[in-house]
Amino acid sequence: MNIIATTRLATLPFLFVALSGLARAQSITSNESEEAAKKEVLKMGEQLNEARKTKDRAALDRILADRLSWIARGDRLNKSQVIADFLADNLRFKYFAHDSVKVDIFGNTAIVTGHSTSVLEYKGKLFDAPRLFSEVYVKMDGRWQMVSHHVSDLAKTEAKTDASLKP
């Protein structure tokens, strides 16, 4: 074996270790940026709820994408209809609570899912059944914008008492 071949073979383990370290560093950076993106998306949801409460048209316009699809309570609304509902007080929350909220990031797209026990009034009708919801955000022009909101009502269940849990 000549000296060049021996040198190449000897450097392979070092090259492998270096590349492994680089891949691991990129993975850590990727995980950190994904966690940062999740926090940004959750913050946008909080800003949307605040803008709804304060009737902040500029914030609503910034957070909701121009081609928004909003499906809830038997309606399919676009961005201008959603904003009009918020500003006209057609949608009023009597109680607001979300739990089991999960964010998944796929590049420049985020999917938020969760469970809601919020009680609300929409155009004079009370909605108090639990619901599952999903929201899709896309990072456009350097900021997260909601492109889709979907709510599925769940059947009301009777509250379980200690007596009903006994065999």
In terms of pLDDT, which residue wins out, 167 or 33? 33
Q: Residue with structure tokens 């680089």?
A: 22
Does some domain include residue 139? yes
Does some domain include residue 162? no
pLDDT of the residue at 92? 78
Are 57 and 83 within 8 A, CB to CB? yes
Does some domain include residue 98? yes
2-58 pLDDT, tens digit per residue, is 555 454 545 545 545 444 444 443 434 577 799 999 999 999 999 999 999 999 999
Does some domain include residue 12? no
Does some domain include residue 24? no
59-83 pLDDT, tens digit per residue, is 999 999 999 999 998 889 999 999 9
87-137 pLDDT, tens digit per residue, is 998 777 777 788 899 999 999 999 999 998 888 788 888 878 889 999 999
Interatomic CA distance for residues 53 and 8, integer angstroms: 67
pTM (two decimals): 0.73
pLDDT of the residue at 13? 55
Are 73 and 105 within 8 A, CB to CB? no
- CB count, 10 Å around CB of 101? 14
pLDDT of the residue at 41? 98
Question: How many domains would you assign to the chain?
Answer: 1
Non-local (6+) Cβ contacts of 99 within 8 A are 114, 115, 116, 117
> What domain range is 100 assigned to?
35-156
Q: What is the mean pLDDT of residues 134-156?
A: 94
CATH number of the domain within which 132 lies: 3.10.450.50
